[in-house]
């Protein structure tokens, strides 16, 4: 009886031991242990925080977002006044963040791709110049660059000595003031014409591509498309008797008012982020191009492709597979770096949140909102770039 029990125990312990020596089972056990301890750790922190908040008599909640903000914002993409709510002030700030991030991503990509290709130029001077740009810019903290551009821009002529560019455009150290279009009835048709032109261009491009595949004949899609997209809305505009009037800036006692103002803070931030991130992107592009084997280029020229076509049709599509993943990181960095706006007074989501935090004292909630916003922006960017990466990846058979 005792012997049987002993054997039974032994069998059990070997079973447990076997579970541990089994690589897959061990992996599952370790993951469960790590996950449970992580969850316990988070639960501890959260309950500790809540308990302490309760003891300090502080409540956590987002009801305060409905309270009036009582502060002004200098760049508003949607209507906002100092009696609007905190929540609306945050949205105005978020839109400002999105604006500068979107502008920065576009220009940083253009700057980065141009610099990356030029760095590989056989022209010694060009490649050295680009190398100097990259090595200088990426080794200087971006905050200093933002303040640098801003300091230059606020040394532009004062309001009294504004540069008159003509057509109601004025440039001074408070920004570029442009006439703002006021859309009148009938402008909807111009917009419709624009949409029509875009759709037509896409259809022509598809048709030209198919014809090229079949017959090898080429069609100047770019020029035709450009003509359509510019020409069609313009023709409609004049045919309808120009259904737009202009709100032209007027000089007042202190400032130009009316029209549309591009503040120097936005321009400084945009320049700095584009130039800084562009330097990193150019290195990514260079490495991507160099990762494509030389045989591909040689094969392309053996087939009779010109060097521009070789780059566009053979090298770049393959290089993109190397470029996209690190490029995503740069886009995320640019978006996050835009929060340095507060240093020069561009009212992004951090700057507006800061004022709200200060007035309402809701630090926990505001910091939470900030983290949620930047996390969401980053995840959305990543998701899009991952989709694009999959879209262009090599189809392997």
| Site for another protein, rule CB under 8 A | 38, 41-42, 45-46, 48-49, 52-53, 55-58, 70-74, 82-83, 147, 151, 154-155, 158-159, 173-174, 252-255, 257, 264-265, 342-345, 347, 351, 354-355, 357-361, 363-364, 367-368, 371-372, 375, 379
Cβ proximity to another protein: between 252 and 296 the closer is: 252
| Rounded-to-integer distance, Cα 4 and Cα 131, Å | 79
Cβ proximity to another protein: between 73 and 314 the closer is: 73
Q: How far is the CB of 331 from another protein (least distance, A)?
A: 16
Q: How far is the CB of 362 from another protein (least distance, A)?
A: 9
- Per the CB < 8 A criterion, the answer to whether 179 and 170 are in contact is no
Q: How far is the CB of 34 from another protein (least distance, A)?
A: 12
Cβ proximity to another protein: between 114 and 354 the closer is: 354
Which helix (DSSP H) or strand (DSSP E) does residue 257 occupy? Answer: strand 256-257
Q: How far is the CB of 112 from another protein (least distance, A)?
A: 26
**Tokens 């190398």 label which residue?**
131
Q: How far is the CB of 98 from another protein (least distance, A)?
A: 19
Cβ proximity to another protein: between 177 and 286 the closer is: 177
Q: How far is the CB of 327 from another protein (least distance, A)?
A: 18
Q: How far is the CB of 347 from another protein (least distance, A)?
A: 7
Cβ proximity to another protein: between 136 and 257 the closer is: 257
Q: Which residues contact 268 (CB under 8 A, 6 or more apart)?
A: 146, 149, 150, 152, 153, 344, 346
Cβ proximity to another protein: between 51 and 202 the closer is: 51
Between the alpha carbon of residue 111 and those of residues 122, 202, 338, the distances in Å are 19, 27, 18
Helix axes 221-239, 187-215, angle to 10 degrees: 160
Q: How far is the CB of 71 from another protein (least distance, A)?
A: 4
Cβ proximity to another protein: between 299 and 372 the closer is: 372
Q: How far is the CB of 42 from another protein (least distance, A)?
A: 6
Q: Which residues contact 357 (CB under 8 A, 6 or more apart)?
A: 363, 366, 367
| Of residues 390, 297, 384, 302, the one with CA closest to residue 335 | 384
The neighbour count for residue 196, using CB atoms within 10 Å, is 15
Helix axes 264-291, 86-119, angle to 10 degrees: 40
**Tokens 């009835």 label which residue?**
185
Cβ proximity to another protein: between 52 and 136 the closer is: 52
Q: How far is the CB of 263 from another protein (least distance, A)?
A: 8
Cβ proximity to another protein: between 322 and 342 the closer is: 342
Tokens of 393: 């990846």
| Rounded-to-integer distance, Cα 378 and Cα 67, Å | 29
First to last CA, the chain: 64
φ/ψ of 316, rounded to 5, equals -60, -45
* Count of positions (residues) in the chain: 397
Cβ proximity to another protein: between 73 and 320 the closer is: 73
Between the alpha carbon of residue 284 and those of residues 138, 317, 332, 338, the distances in Å are 13, 14, 15, 21
DSSP assignment of 162-203, as one string? -EEEETTEEEETTEEEEPEEEE-TTHHHHHHHHHHHHHHHHH
């Amino acid at each position: 009886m005792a012997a049987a029990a002993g054997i039974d125990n032994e069998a059990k312990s070997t079973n447990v031991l076997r579970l541990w020596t089994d690589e897959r089972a061990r992996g599952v056990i370790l993951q469960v242990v790590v996950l449970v301890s992580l969850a316990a750790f988070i639960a501890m922190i959260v309950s500790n925080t809540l308990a302490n908040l309760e003891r300090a008599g502080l409540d956590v909640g987002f009801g305060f977002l409905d309270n009036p903000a009582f502060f002004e914002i200098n760049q508003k993409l949607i209507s906002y006044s100092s009696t609007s709510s905190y929540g609306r002030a945050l949205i105005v700030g978020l839109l400002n963040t999105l604006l500068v991030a979107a502008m920065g991503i576009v220009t940083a990509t253009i700057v980065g791709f141009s610099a990356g290709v030029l760095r590989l130029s056989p022209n010694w001077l060009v490649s050295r110049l680009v190398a100097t740009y990259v090595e200088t810019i990426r080794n200087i903290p971006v905050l200093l660059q933002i303040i640098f551009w801003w300091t230059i821009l606020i040394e532009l002529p004062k309001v009294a000595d504004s540069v008159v560019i003509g057509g109601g455009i004025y440039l001074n150290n408070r920004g570029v003031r442009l006439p703002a279009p006021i859309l009148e009835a009938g402008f909807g048709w111009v917009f419709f014409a624009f949409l029509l032109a875009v759709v037509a261009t896409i259809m022509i491009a598809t048709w030209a591509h198919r014809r090229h595949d079949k017959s090898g004949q080429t069609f100047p899609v770019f020029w035709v498309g450009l003509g359509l997209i510019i020409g069609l809305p313009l023709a409609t505009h004049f045919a309808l008797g120009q259904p737009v009037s202009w709100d032209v800036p007027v000089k007042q006692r202190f400032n130009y008012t009316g029209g549309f103002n591009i503040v120097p803070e936005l321009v400084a931030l945009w320049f700095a982020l584009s130039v800084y991130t562009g330097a990193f992107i150019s290195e990514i592009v260079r490495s991507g191009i160099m990762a494509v084997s030389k045989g591909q280029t040689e094969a392309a020229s053996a087939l009779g492709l010109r060097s521009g076509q070789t780059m566009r049709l053979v090298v770049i599509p393959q290089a993109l597979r190397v470029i996209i993943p690190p490029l995503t990181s740069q886009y995320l960095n640019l978006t996050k770096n835009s929060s340095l706006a507060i240093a020069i007074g561009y009212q992004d989501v951090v700057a507006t949140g800061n004022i709200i935090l200060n007035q309402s004292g809701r630090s926990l909630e505001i910091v939470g909102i900030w983290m949620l916003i930047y996390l969401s922006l980053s995840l959305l960017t990543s998701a899009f770039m991952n989709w694009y990466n999959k879209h262009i990846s090599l189809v392997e058979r």
